[in-house]
Amino acid sequence: MIRLRQMTIADVEVVFRIEKRSFAVPWSKEAFIKEMEENDTAYCFLVEFGSEVAGYMGIWKILDEGHVTNIAIDPDYRGKKLGKALLEYALGEMEMRGVNSFTLEVRETNQVAINLFFFFFFFFFFFFFFFLRRIADVEE
C-alpha cells in the first residue's frame, strides 16, 4: 500500500538514510532540519510503501513558482512507480498553494529522472527542466 503525506521532523533520520544511499554528495541531516524549521519557502513530502518511508521530495515555493530541491526513492523501493506517485502528489499539493510552474535541475546522465520528469511535461533546456503543466483554469 502506498501512502503520501507531508514530511515531519520525526522523518528526518530515515530521509537522511535515503539521501545517503541515493546521492554521492548528500544533504546533511542538519540541512533537512533547517529546511523544515527555518525555511518558510520549503515544503517536504514523503511516500510510504507499507509501513516504511520509501522516498521524499522537497520543493521551494517562491511566489507562484516552485523549485524541486530534491527527490529520491530508496534503492530498495525503486521500480515500483513510487517516484511518479510522489511527484504527482507533491505537484498537486503545490498547485493548491498557488504554484503554477516548476523548475528543477537533473544530471544529464540520470535517465530515470529525465524519463519521470518528461512524463510530467518537463522540457529539457540547458540541463534545467521547466514544468509547463497548465493549471486547469479554462473558461469555456
Ramachandran category for residue 109: left, alpha or beta (phi over 0 → left; psi -120 to 50 → alpha):
alpha
Grid cell 498537486 — which residue? 92
**Residue 110, SS3?**
coil
And the C-alpha cell for 111?
535517465
Report CA Rg, the chain. 15
The pLDDT assigned to 112 comes to 61
And the C-alpha cell for 82?
513510487
DSSP E strands: which ranges in 21-121?
Answer: 42-49, 52-62, 65-73, 101-105
The pLDDT assigned to 139 comes to 36
**Res. 12 pLDDT band, cuts 50 70 90:** very high
The CATH superfamily assigned to 2-102 is Gcn5-related N-acetyltransferase (GNAT) (3.40.630.30)
With 50 as the cut, is the pLDDT of residue 99 above it? yes
**Res. 103 pLDDT band, cuts 50 70 90:** confident
CA dist list (Å): 119 to 36, 115, 140: 28, 6, 27
pLDDT in tens, 59-82: 999 998 888 888 899 999 998 989
**Residue 84, SS3?**
helix
The pLDDT assigned to 123 comes to 46
